[in-house]
């Protein structure tokens, strides 16, 4: 069995290492991959958004499966193109991927089907948006670019001035590009955040172990929004009662709504939730595995991932066991100084063995490359140091012990991953 995984981050590395454990013993390829992934898969130099290049490679090299992981190729219809070429895939088709790639679509869907989400208005005219925030007069208020923006298209404005600046930056300066030609302005919600990734085959929803992301760059949730600086799983705020409520009011209604809209969802659906005083609300959907949520979730997944892919493809997820290990997992991201703004690349990474790993835990590589046997930095988020333990304390201790021994020029990491869970 040959599987091609699309992407080049820590999330893809975690998926690949999980696929390697499968009883089907697949041969794994990754396009384009990175320095650390090269130790676990054959890296192929094709861009993750090159739909034609990927389809041709998959056909010419007889791939049995293509696992399309990142948002851009999913939004561009890579799954549709591969299926048309007769290749099995993991991931949603283009129309279903819009649940992430258009916030206007997903907000309107939630409203239509009564799925709890912050109240909102949509604007295509910056003047009208400014008028609205002024007459609404409630702050903070949340401003979101409609389209994909590397997970960064959200501005939380604490005053009218900040809101006006935000609207100007997104709609007129186009800091997130064309994804900002439409915006959603929404009510500010409060409460603990939970990420729930779920396997979905169009009918059945099997949620994975819950997790918690840490999106801001600095300790105490300060600094700029990033792709994610660390994760823990399970999320202690996500109790059995909350899980039951989410299944009933959010997960099943979402899958049903997508079917009714002719956008049946297949793959991994990511629910970004906020546990508000009024109950669980949807903050955002992603049409894919989260990064770095995947790192902790794969660390705890006990079932065979290839069996799950197969069950989803055959719409038999209901009959396929999806189980998780007891205990907890933690992932601490080591990033390049300056991230999420500009940073230096090409710095030598210290503390890893020749396979880019560290004894006793998993190092999931993101922005790394391998040159003459040495691991060098090549991105903002560089490594996800990921450990498992009998409980969260043990997992965090293991991860942080390793983090102290790994680094490079100007590297930094958050020292407070998971601490909210102990308060």
Residues within the interface to ligand AMP (CB under 6 A) = 118, 142, 151, 154, 156, 186-189, 193, 215, 272, 283-284
Task: State the minimum distance, in angstroms, from the CB of residue 71 to ligand GLY.
Answer: 8
Binding partner at 402 among ligand AMP, ligand GLY, none, C-beta below 5 to 8 Å by kind: none
Asked if 384 is part of the footprint of ligand GLY (rule: CB under 6 A), the reply reads no
C-alpha to C-alpha distance for 14 and 154, rounded to whole angstroms = 27
Binding partner at 286 among ligand AMP, ligand GLY, none, C-beta below 5 to 8 Å by kind: ligand GLY
Name residues contacting ligand GLY, limited to 283-312 (CB under 6 A).
286, 290-291, 293
Neighbouring residues of 84: CB distance < 8 A, sequence distance ≥ 6 = none
Task: State the minimum distance, in angstroms, from the CB of residue 213 to ligand AMP.
Answer: 7
DSSP E strands, 134-251: 141-145, 154-157, 183-187, 193-201, 205-207, 212-213, 216-218, 222-225, 230-233
Helix (H, G, I), strand (E, B) or coil at 366: coil
**Residue with Cβ nearer ligand AMP (25 or 159):** 159
Asked if 166 is part of the footprint of ligand GLY (rule: CB under 6 A), the reply reads no
What are the CA-CA distances from residue 170 to residues 143, 150, 181, 219 (Å)? 9, 14, 8, 27
**Residue with Cβ nearer ligand GLY (268 or 402):** 268
Task: State the minimum distance, in angstroms, from the CB of residue 286 to ligand GLY.
Answer: 5
Binding partner at 299 among ligand GLY, ligand AMP, none, C-beta below 5 to 8 Å by kind: none
From 311, 79, 71, 90, select the one nearest 204 (Cα to Cα). 311
From 290, 209, 207, 205, select the one nearest 256 (Cα to Cα). 205
DSSP E strands, 266-344: 266-276, 279-286, 328-336
Task: State the minimum distance, in angstroms, from the CB of residue 366 to ligand GLY.
Answer: 12
Asked if 100 is part of the footprint of ligand GLY (rule: CB under 6 A), the reply reads no
Task: State the minimum distance, in angstroms, from the CB of residue 293 to ligand GLY.
Answer: 6
Residue 184 region by backbone torsions, left for phi larger than 0, else alpha for psi between -120 and 50, else beta: beta
C-alpha to C-alpha distance for 262 and 279, rounded to whole angstroms = 28
Name residues contacting ligand GLY, limited to 141-160 (CB under 6 A).
151
DSSP character string of 88-148: EEES--HHHHHHHH-HHHHHHHHHHHT--B--EEEES-HHHHHHHHHHH--SSEEEEESS-
Asked if 213 is part of the footprint of ligand GLY (rule: CB under 6 A), the reply reads yes
Task: State the minimum distance, in angstroms, from the CB of residue 212 to ligand GLY.
Answer: 10
Task: State the minimum distance, in angstroms, from the CB of residue 68 to ligand GLY.
Answer: 15
**Residue with Cβ nearer ligand AMP (37 or 154):** 154
Asked if 73 is part of the footprint of ligand GLY (rule: CB under 6 A), the reply reads no
Residues in contact with ligand GLY by the rule CB under 6 A: 151, 213, 228, 286, 290-291, 293
């Amino acid at each position: 069995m040959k599987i091609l995984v699309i992407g080049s981050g820590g999330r893809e590395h975690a998926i690949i290492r999980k696929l390697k454990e499968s009883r089907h013993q697949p041969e794994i390829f990754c396009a384009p991959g990175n320095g650390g992934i090269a130790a676990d898969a054959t890296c192929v130099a094709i861009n993750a958004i090159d739909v034609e290049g990927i389809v041709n490679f998959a056909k010419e090299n007889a791939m049995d499966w293509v696992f399309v992981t990142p948002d851009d190729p999913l939004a561009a219809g890579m799954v549709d193109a591969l299926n048309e070429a007769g290749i099995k895939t993991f991931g949603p088709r283009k129309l279903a991927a819009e649940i992430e790639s258009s916030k206007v679509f997903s907000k309107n869907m939630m409203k239509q089907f009564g799925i709890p989400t912050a109240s909102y208005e949509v604007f295509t005219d910056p003047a009208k948006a400014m008028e609205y925030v002024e007459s609404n007069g409630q702050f903070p208020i949340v401003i979101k670019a409609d389209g994909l923006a590397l997970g960064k298209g959200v501005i939380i404005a604490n005053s009218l001035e900040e809101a006006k600046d935000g609207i100007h930056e997104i709609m007129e300066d186009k800091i997130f590009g064309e994804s900002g030609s439409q915006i959603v302005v929404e009510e500010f919600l409060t409460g603990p955040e939970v990420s729930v990734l779920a396997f979905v085959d169009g009918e059945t929803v099997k949620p994975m172990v819950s997790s918690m992301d840490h999106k801001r760059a600095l300790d105490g949730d300060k600094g700029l929004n990033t792709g994610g600086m660390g994760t823990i799983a399970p999320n202690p705020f996500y109790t059995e009662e909350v899980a039951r409520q989410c299944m009933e009011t959010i997960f099943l209604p979402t899958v049903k709504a997508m079917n009714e809209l002719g956008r049946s969802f297949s793959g991994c659906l990511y629910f970004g939730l906020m546990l508000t005083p009024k109950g669980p609300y949807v903050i955002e959907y992603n049409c894919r595995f989260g990064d770095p949520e995947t790192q902790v979730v794969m660390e705890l997944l006990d079932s065979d991932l290839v069996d799950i892919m197969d069950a989803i493809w055959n719409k038999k997820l209901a009959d396929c066991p999806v189980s998780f290990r007891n205990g907890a997992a933690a992932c601490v991201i080591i990033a390049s100084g300056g991230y999420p703004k500009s940073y230096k690349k090409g710095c030598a990474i210290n503390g890893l063995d020749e396979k880019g790993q560290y004894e006793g835990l998993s190092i999931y590589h993101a922005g790394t490359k391998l040159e003459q046997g040495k691991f060098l930095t090549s991105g903002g988020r560089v490594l996800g140091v990921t450990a498992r333990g009998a409980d969260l304390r043990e997992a965090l201790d293991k991860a942080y012990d390793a983090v102290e021994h790994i680094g490079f020029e100007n590297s930094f990491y958050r020292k407070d991953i998971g601490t909210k869970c102990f308060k």
